[in-house]
């Protein structure tokens, strides 16, 4: 179940409670769900009960109890736990691994993205305002990309226009320049880079600025350019390129990916990371923290790389259903890596 599907499920629960006379409120247009907050649990949480409590004339916790009764047992929902004044913490049933892989391959690089709901004027608007230095602009740019992947209308402003070379090399652009805007804005203030990232080029330069958390000082050096395992960016891009090479090699052998059961010690961990990808995107958007996505991609790559030698037939083996299922899992992982890098503004080459 995607966050959009869960939002619609919660909305149906509100509508049924209104129809049954337990809540006397206007049914909202949509329900916002996101990562659980402090004290929460499960996969997603929503504060819809707090939103409806005043118009319903009931305490938020009582509204949450009404909605919990209608959500418990709904398709795709494993458990609903109440926390705080009335937050609904929702745990989802785990998708069968083969279905998960099929979903990733079907959605492609947009796996984990939310389809915008409503007209443009109704969508959530977020303005990111950043300081005038390369790291702030790159972080704001990547955060805006991730927000847009979650259905928001994101705009970036800066205290001054980006230097032309920052735009040319790092690909940063802003929608407006000047002082802090009058409208509410998220202040993007990462620790500035200690050196000039431009000699690293676009991909390595952006990675160097995005991979550390905003409060950490990034390292700007040639370590981001070396093609060896000590370089996290290289591991991510190399793993993606390997998955693409496996697809080409499989085609030469006359078979293609087909999701199915995968018997391999690494398969469970890879499936768990793929299933977690939508949550990571939602959290990165909610906290305006592209570093969360960057670190997730490294974790995915490190889990997938040891699995790849088992994908193709060996020796005199003939391609089987097991090989097709392993190839599908590898391709799904490569898809997640490519989609994540794209949101960070970094290329994912098929050959490396």
Q: pLDDT for 334-347, tens place per residue?
A: 999 999 999 999 99
What's the pLDDT tens digit per position in 15-54? 999 999 999 999 988 888 888 888 899 888 999 999 999 9
CA 321 to each of CA 171, 245, 261, 262, 275: distance values in angstroms, whole numbers, following the listed order: 43, 19, 9, 9, 22
Instruction: Please state, as a whole number, how many other Cβ atoms lie within 10 Å of the Cβ of residue 144.
Output: 27
66 has a pLDDT exceeding 50: yes
44-46 and 87-92 strand pairing: antiparallel
Distance CA 130, CA 141 (A): 10
List C-alpha distances in Å: 282 to 3, 148, 288.
Answer: 9, 11, 10
pLDDT value, residue 120? 45
Place of tokens 């129809």: 19
* Buried residues in 184-211 as b, exposed as e (16+ CB within 10 A): ebbebbbeebeeebbebebbbbbbbbbb
CB-count burial class (<10 Å; 0-12, 13-18, 19+) for 161 = middle
Q: What is the pLDDT of residue 116?
A: 65
Average model confidence (pLDDT) for the chain? 92
Q: Is the per-residue pLDDT at 72 higher than 60?
A: yes
Strand pairing class (176-177; 44-46) = unpaired
Interatomic CA distance for residues 152 and 143, integer angstroms: 11
Decide if 131 contacts 156 (C-beta within 8 A). no
Number of CB atoms found within 10 A of residue 139's CB: 25
pLDDT at 122: 56
Render pLDDT for 117-145 as a digit per residue (tens, 0 to 9): 544 445 678 999 999 999 999 999 999 99
Strands (DSSP E) contained in the chain are 44-46, 77-83, 87-92, 125-130, 153-158, 176-177, 186-188
pLDDT digits (tens, 9 = 90+) for 74-104: 988 999 999 999 999 999 887 778 989 999 9
For 298, the 3-state DSSP assignment is helix
DSSP 233-273: HHHHHHHHHHHHHHHHHHHHTT----------TTHHHHHHH
- C-alpha 320/C-alpha 327 separation (Å) is 11
């Amino acid at each position: 179940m995607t966050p959009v599907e869960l939002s619609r499920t919660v909305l149906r629960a509100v509508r049924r409670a209104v129809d049954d006379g337990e809540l006397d409120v206007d049914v909202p247009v949509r329900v916002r769900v996101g990562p659980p907050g402090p004290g929460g649990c499960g996969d997603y949480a929503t504060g819809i009960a707090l939103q409806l409590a005043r118009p319903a004339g009931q305490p938020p916790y009582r509204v949450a109890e009404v909605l919990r009764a209608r959500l418990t047992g709904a398709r795709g929902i494993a458990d609903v736990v109440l926390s705080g004044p009335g937050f609904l913490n929702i745990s989802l049933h785990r998708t069968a691994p083969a279905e998960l892989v099929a979903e990733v391959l079907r959605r492609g690089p947009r796996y984990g993205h939310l389809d915008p709901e409503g007209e443009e004027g109704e969508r959530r608007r977020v303005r990111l305002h950043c300081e005038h230095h390369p790291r702030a602009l790159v972080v704001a740019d990547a955060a805006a990309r991730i927000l847009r992947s979650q259905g928001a209308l994101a705009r970036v402003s800066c205290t001054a226009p980006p230097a032309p070379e920052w735009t040319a090399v790092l690909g940063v652009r802003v929608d407006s320049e000047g002082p802090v805007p009058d409208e509410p804005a998220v202040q993007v203030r990462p620790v500035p880079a200690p050196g000039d990232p431009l000699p690293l080029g676009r991909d390595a330069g952006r990675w160097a600025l995005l991979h550390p958390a905003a409060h950490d000082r990034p390292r700007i050096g040639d370590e981001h350019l070396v093609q060896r395992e000590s370089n996290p960016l290289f591991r991510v891009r190399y793993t993606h390129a390997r998955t693409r090479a496996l697809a080409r090699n499989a085609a030469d052998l006359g078979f293609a990916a087909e999701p199915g059961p995968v018997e391999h010690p690494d398969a469970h961990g890879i499936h768990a990371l793929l299933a977690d990808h939508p949550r990571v995107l939602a959290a990165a958007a909610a906290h305006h923290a592209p570093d969360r996505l960057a670190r997730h991609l490294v974790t995915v790559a490190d889990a997938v790389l040891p699995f790849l030698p088992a994908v193709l037939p060996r020796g005199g083996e003939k391609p089987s259903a097991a090989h097709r299922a392993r190839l599908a899992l590898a391709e799904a992982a490569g898809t997640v890596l490519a989609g994540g890098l794209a949101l960070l503004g970094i290329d994912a080459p098929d050959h490396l």
